[in-house]
Structure 1
Amino acid sequence: MRFEDKQEIAKQLRQNFFEKVVAGDALYVDGVMSPQTIMLVEEFSASGVDMTAAWSWTPMDWVCPACGRCKADIVRLNSKQQLMCRLVEHHDHMKDLLETEFVAACKASEKIVADEFGKRFAARASQMVAAYDNAIICDDCNTADAKAKDAVSADRNFSFSPGEIRKFVKQEKNRPHSIDVQIALEIWRGHVSTFALRLKIAKRIAEIAANNVHWYQELPLEQRAEVIRARAASFSTVTFGKEWIYELTGDPRVQEGIFRRGKQQAPTEYPSDKDVEYVARVTSSKHWLAVPEEWKCPVCRRSKNATVRQSKAGWIFLLSEPGFFGTPEWRRGGREKICGECSSLAVEIGKEGVLRAGSNGSSNYAQYVTAEELKQVLIPQAHGRHNVNSTKLDEIMLTMVERIRMMDDKSRKLKD
């Protein structure tokens, strides 16, 4: 491929990206040019926009995991009458503490023996003592975290998690937060003993790293499996717009989905009551708690218990919210929760349809399939993967290919 051709492809991809943002069709990002931002600028009579990168990394329907406010309720004017669209990355300060302890341990030795790998070992190990994962929250919640720590005289290396911030902030629409100091104090008191233990662990890890007795062996980026896999997939998908990577090995899945080949065997092992309890409380608690006990998958009609299946990591329970073709509420939050197996099958069917239609398509393959079509082709089994009625799928595939081509034509006309 000529350099000029690559430039033209990159230019077109960039144009397509910003067109989606302007149209409000970019599911995972936002920007100063999005319809919601423009509407809010007009609503607040703002002179401009003060937007952080984190705001642009999140969709228009994003909700703060700490205070629970949506973007329209977070914005307000700053002193320059600009619309403040400010989200930040909130993190546990243990990583910062470990780095400080590492430097101190190195300098405390008569001769520094640690190297760059020791330092990176300390950084990687910091996750072991972190109380929560880094999160994107609104700037008001991040400020409330600092105010609460000062108010309760918490250790300077401590920070409240998004869930804890939600308990003590008094949130209002388009205003900074006030805080309930008593609730913040109770939360901090509940952390005192475990935080002291975490400090000891952090100090010990820093000493191990500083004395160069760590076990971390770093591979160059180009040798790491996840980098190799991601680079190949990116080249195939982004550069050419199709998932052609499997064709390189002669794998015929691009013509007929691999999910059609052979029969998914019925499971030979079933989860015990303890297995299900462990799934509900540990491995898949977020998904398990997202639906009531009497829930049944709207597509395959399996119960919660029957949806639990064995994976390489053990027993799991997965839910998904795909945007099927014809779904009125296509945005996240307005979709019906279905089991992970039904969602995976919808993606595979949509992917085959895109390839058969010769379409550049979209990575959201479920949008080409209706829930009713999925019901017609799947053959469910408890605690296992679905089988497929291939004959019925062939009938449906004709309709789907025509649908995809019509959607492509409509998309081209809109661009023209």
Structure 2
Amino acid sequence: MTFPIRLSVDIPDLVTAPDEVIEGLLRARDGRWSRQTKAMLLKAGTDRLTLNDAWASTPMSWVCPCCQRDKPSIARLTPSGVLLCQLDYHHDHLNDRAKAIFRADNPFPEAREPREQLIRAIDSCRQLIERFSTTLLCNDCNTAEGAAKLALKGEIDPDFSFSPKEIAAFIKPKPNQPHEVDVERAREIWRALQPVFDDLVAFAGTLSQRVAAGRHRKEGRPGSPYGRPLSDPEIVHHLLVAQAGDLYRPYQLAGHLDARSRSAAGAGSSIRPKRRAAGDAPSAEAFAALDAQQQTSAPWRAAPADWRCEVCERGKAEICRKSNTGRWSAQIHDVPEFELETDPVNPRYRLAERGRPIVGGHRSALICHDCRNIVAEAKRRSPGLTDASLTLEDLRAVVLAVQPHGRHEVDFDAVIERGLANADRVAAVGDYWRHRSLASGLFHQATHLHKRHGWSVDDVELSNGVEN
């Protein structure tokens, strides 16, 4: 006779648990709670920290594969007194060129099965085009690659990416400092690799034509959570969920942990915005009239009376500016701020994005018109940039000085550099919106079949009309 194994699992509240508890449970991660991070803050003489998802998802012993610096050597104090702990995903933009080639030659069919076969064929072929796999690098290495390409603008193909080993060949790393870039060495590397790059672009065209002719298609779906045996951790997890009932909601822990690990007290390597002398302020009557006028704007209505811009920290009255004609104006913009995927299950449904950063969600952020104008001006100066090219952290970093009732002083060289370095993020955001639109459409199809036609949930999942 066998007896069931009884396990008792204590799940701490990851939002409020002491730092020592978090560190004891999660040896393979890092965060603002770790002893190493606290020691770095103490050494830097600051309590202000910017620590991103990628940094938090790696162990304290992580070493950059490009510059070979460990985390204590990578973390650096910005001129504004913020300890910057940031890692970035670096991918081969040749994959993006291949995507454009394949999409031009291979329009997606309406029928689900041919469309899935085409997507899988393109995904498989594109992997043959890349010169290197997506790699996690320190922020300084990723930024140095963007700086080298910016310095070689007009010479270098914009879809060419230096590999981590190639970046290592033209940077001069120092502990806790941004890299120096040897532009001439970067130029030599590009010229040596240009024939290889051109050959891969031509190869992408050949493969694209083969896919368009029906080759490289494969019937059936790749492995999914429903088509393979459960692993031991998954079985234990299912038992835990079943026994815990409403006391435990699966997949919330990862989000709580990420929120607990990250920090955004400041950002970037540029100077923190200085507060300059204020310009002319509107009278109470003038602001009241403007406030009433702006009630037709949803973002303005959504911002409470004590609202502060998430970038420059000015309030509603402080963002008011007088035009040359003497007219007061002010606007608040609702912009999306994106977060990386934390649920380990969801990437299985996003095969086309394999090997790249995956955005899992977004929130609304309310910023003033002067901060939003930085994005618009960046797009004007560098037409390849998009609304997704700059994060709120980037905007905070490039604003050199702010004043109530006046325009910002902005380092637009840094704006362009950061925007170009965020190409991975732009691609991930595009993938996210496409996936979100597809998922929303499938949800409405499933709801229609379930409610209007009485189909069971199992029938909906197995039907040919709805994708899992």
Q: Which has the higher helix share?
A: 1
